[in-house]
Structure 1
Amino acid sequence: MSATAAHWTVVPARDFARHAARWQRLHAAGAASPLLAADFVQALLDVFGTGRELLAWHGDDTDAMTIVAPGRRGVWNTFQPAQAPVGLWLQADTRPADGLLAGLLQALPGPALMVGLTQCDPVLMARPGGARSFDYIRTARITVQGSFDDYWLARGKNLRSNLKKQRNRLRQDGIATRLEIVRSPDDMAAAVADYGKLETSGWKATEGTAVDAANDQGRFYRTMLEALARRGAASVYRYWFDGPAGPHLAAMDLCVEGGGCIVILKTAYDEALGPQLSPALLMREEATRGLFDEGRFERIEFYGRVMEWHTRWTDEIRTMYHLNGYRWPLLGRLHALAARKKGDSARVSAAPPAPAAAAPGS
């Protein structure tokens, strides 16, 4: 299937590999979040795609691209597996995307009445005014500027004091901390397996949401990290407690890099270490110091819903949003009116609810 309408071209997303070079060129020309790199997108489609997704691009010069999936009758949404922190919409600049949606609806198989762009980041795409955009979640970032010592002194006294006490306690017990950073694609399979062992030993295992080397989540993270690592755009942080009994894996981060930022996709820690230790926060302190000292990145992105611990690390918080487009303006007004009558405007969006996030240690 191929269709063109209002300068949009639509093809099956199962053919993404054939068009990945087009996607990557646009990615390089725009805001360039590593979460929208072609390798990241291909892994999402390979593991979580159903075969019903469509790839679309706008204009002969390709100034916008997206992957959409069918929802309820007449509704399309950006393809949004839980493992994708931002919606799969890519464009050459950061202008609002609402002006492009009417043409996209004409190009999609019909009757296409509404398209929802989910989990939009205002840093990547400015939020338009009006009643068609809806709050999603608040998310946090750290701007890497100046020295780590200045950044750390600006953090709360309780945080600094608490982590210092934990380090003193570890030293008294004869335990040294060690931060290991893995970047080789050959090491990613073992890293994801180690990460899965941490998650499956904690609360996520009881809810069935833990990463495991043998499940789809584990397959996605391995495939994606290996692909990104081959071009130097992935890293895994392992945090070790080295003591009399030998090395003990205490915490891990799975990260992707690019566009001036590092994104911390997933964090896990050994919950058996007890409430008196926060291994993920100890790791975060050392990793953040290293990122400030290296100066390779301008930003550290957390994504996910802001938790209390985020506010101890940064006051840079922004609101992500969903954006709806309608085939006819009247349909949008009626949709918004119906939602207001229900007293729950968030339900206007076709997006799924925000995933729960866990604090990395006490």
Structure 2
Amino acid sequence: MSWTVYPARDFARHAADWERLHANGPATSLLAVDFVAPLVEQFGREHDLLAVWRNQGAIAAMAIVRPTRRGAWATLQPAQAPLGLWLQQPGLDTEKLARSLLGALPGFPLIVALTQMDPFLMPRPDDGPCTRTLDYIDTARVTLAGSFDDYWAGRGKNLRGNLKKQRARLEREGIATRLQIDRDPAAMAQAVADYGRLESSGWKAGKGTAVHAENAQGRYYRAMLEALAGRNAAGVYRYYFNEQLVAMDLCVEDADSIVVLKTSYDESVPSNWSPTLLMREEACRALFDAGRFARLEFYGRVMEWHLRWTDEVRTMYHVNYYRWPGLRRLHTMLESKLNTRSRPAPSPTTSL
């Protein structure tokens, strides 16, 4: 039982192994080979490694890892990936796997981190002498059980009333709404281009973070969506006011869930309209009616609007595995001191 490491740029040579291992575990689309391969191609770096753990010749765990600072490695975590790139067969001891990985990585690392883990897919381990878990973000989901009408009746009166008023006003003003869902691989290039135009018209353009058909993000989303759509595992949701494209979702799917990866809207739309929420209402109705999926996952940090849509929230986490118990204690102590120093001093009226 041992780890072997390869350059991550050779991922294509090991893609079949990744796909088989993925099929044996929680087969989320966010760790599918067609999701991961374009990540490595577009956002990989020279020193990234693919680690493979074999048990009696059979591959039972794989990960893509990157050096983050001297003495530290972590699972590859581009901004486009909601989950850290770690796969293992169910039932294996994650702590033992991660700690043994320390011995296989170059440079005698002192710590390896598994980032952005989902407790629904991999139970959160207990803290231990060499193990420390940290909260990452709260994320939300909608369980797609029962009828949409029952689900919608359980939403807050403000949300339901606001969208009902918007629809009545749109009708009075002669604005027809339309939800278009595309699943054809040949439609994905245009979808990414359209999404890029929406995003580039807003605040992200000024920060240089917008998707564009010709940048690395655009190339990633096109390749990933085309590949997954070829397996009937991707969908693009467009929402129109008459012929004006006003909102979009880029989604990926697995057997049980649909994940909203990216959402954008036309920021030129007057602020008294909520095109994203209107789109979400119609998309949810379609998902409930189709009965294909058990869950709608958002995976981003919980925002106020998520809590109007659902009360199902869970906490994602990171895990640090240390070479020695003393190093874990030292790291925790230093971090506690830094947090104390950076915490604002209490005001004179604050109760202590």
Q: TM-score, normalised by structure 2?
A: 0.93
Runs of 4+ in 1 over 4 A off after TM superposition: none
Instruction: List per-residue Cα deviations over 1:85-124 (Å, max 9, x = no partner).
Output: 1110112227662221111010111211110111111111
Alignment of 1:1-362 (within 5 A): 7-59=2-54, 60-93=57-90, 97-130=94-127, 132-242=132-242, 247-343=243-339
Root mean square deviation of aligned Cα: 1.6
State the Cα distance separating 1:62 from its structure 2 match: 2.1
CA distance in 2, matches of 1:306, 1:216: 26
**Contact between 1:236 and 1:254, CA under 8 Å: does it hold in 2?**
yes
- 2-structure distance, mates of 1:122, 1:82: 20
Structure 2's unaligned 5+ residue stretches are 343-352
Q: TM-score, normalised by structure 1?
A: 0.90
Summarize deviations over 1:207-261 as a string: whole Å, max 9, x none.
111111111111111111111111111110011111xxxx110100000001410
Take 1:344 and 1:196, find their aligned partners in 2: how far apart are those partners? 42
Alignment-mate amino acid for residue 336 of structure 2: R
Which has the larger displacement, 59-68 or 154-163? Answer: 59-68
Assess if the C-alpha contact under 8 Å between 1:95 and 1:125 holds in 2.
no
Q: In 1, distance between residues paired with 2:256 and 2:272?
A: 35
User: 1:263: Cα distance to partner?
Assistant: 0.4
Q: Distance in 2 between matches of 1:195 and 1:20?
A: 29
User: C-alpha separation between the residues in 1 aligned to 2:244 and 2:273?
Assistant: 14
Deviations 1:323-350 (A, max 9, x none): 011122221122112212223699xxxx
1:359 is aligned to none
| Identical residues among aligned pairs (%) | 63
Letter of the 2:89 counterpart: A
Is the partner of 1:225 in helix, strand or coil?
helix
Report how many aligned residue pairs link the two structures: 337
CA–CA separation in structure 1 for the residues paired with 2:168 and 2:267: 20
In structure 1, stretches of 5+ residues that fail to align are 1-5, 347-362
Letter paired with 1:321? Y
Q: Is the 8 A contact 1:336 1:345 kept in 2?
A: no
Distance 1:94 1:45 in 2: 27
1:271 aligned counterpart, secondary structure: coil
2-side partners of 1:342 and 1:250: how far apart? Answer: 45
One-letter code of the match for 1:140?
A
Name the stretch that deviates more: 329-338 or 204-213. 329-338
